[in-house]
Amino acid sequence: MNHTQNKVSLPVIKRLPKYYRYIRQMQANGVTKVSSSELARMMGTTASQVRQDFNCFGGFGQQGIGYNVDVLLHEIGRLLFGDGEKLPTILIGAGRLGTAVSRFLTTDTNGYNLLAVFDSKQDMVGKNLDGIPIHHIDELEDFCA
């Protein structure tokens, strides 16, 4: 992929996680190639918009051939998460939803490094959620400083 020095619009940046999610789902289902038309249908946009979005980053496919799902996932992942570095992340809430989010964040392939979990319930403090310490929400500001 060729990196360009052009500014990328906020709407394009906001669409990247959605592209990533759909393409990761395709990869998990064994799909190896995808067309801009197929991606557009999933995204609720046009094939032209998909191509324009990807061209902001130098393009990823070839006309008439489509996009290699593995390459596309890798390149969009690099744009979102950097070159192998995981994004330092904290989670607020250790209840049912927080537990589900924690399991997602601590999966090695997701590009996140979950550092700590915060909750307002005193009975949760001191416990671990998927091996990550739970702190009281009052400690959040000091933790992030």
Residue 109 confidence (pLDDT): 65
**Which of the listed residues 66, 81, 96 is the one where a domain comes to its end?**
81
Question: 29, 36, 38, 69: which is closest to 52 by C-alpha?
Answer: 36
At 126, which CATH number?
3.40.50.720
Residue 87 confidence (pLDDT): 79
Q: Is 90 left (phi over 0), alpha (psi -120 to 50) or beta?
A: beta
Instruction: Determine, yes or no, domain membership for 34.
Output: yes
**Stretch 111-139: mean pLDDT, rounded?**
92
In tens, the pLDDT along 30-71 reads 999 999 999 999 999 999 999 999 988 887 777 788 899 999
pTM of the predicted protein model: 0.59
Residue 67 confidence (pLDDT): 93
pLDDT band at 84 (very low <50, low <70, confident <90, very high): low
Q: Encoding tokens for residue 11?
A: 């709407």
**Which of the listed residues 33, 54, 81 is the one where a domain comes to its end?**
81
Q: Encoding tokens for residue 134?
A: 């739970």
Residue 2 confidence (pLDDT): 45
Instruction: Determine, yes or no, domain membership for 29.
Output: yes
For residue 25, the enclosing domain spans 10-81
At 50, which CATH number?
1.10.10.10
In angstroms, rounded to a whole number, what is the distance separating the alpha carbons of residues 106 and 138?
A: 23
Does 57 share its domain with 107?
Answer: no
Query: Average pLDDT, whole number, for the chain?
Result: 88
Q: Encoding tokens for residue 141?
A: 């500001």
Residue entry with tokens 């946009």: 45
**Which of the listed residues 40, 59, 81 is the one where a domain comes to its end?**
81
Residue 4, pLDDT above cutoff 50: no
Residue 14, pLDDT above cutoff 80: yes
Residue 3 confidence (pLDDT): 47
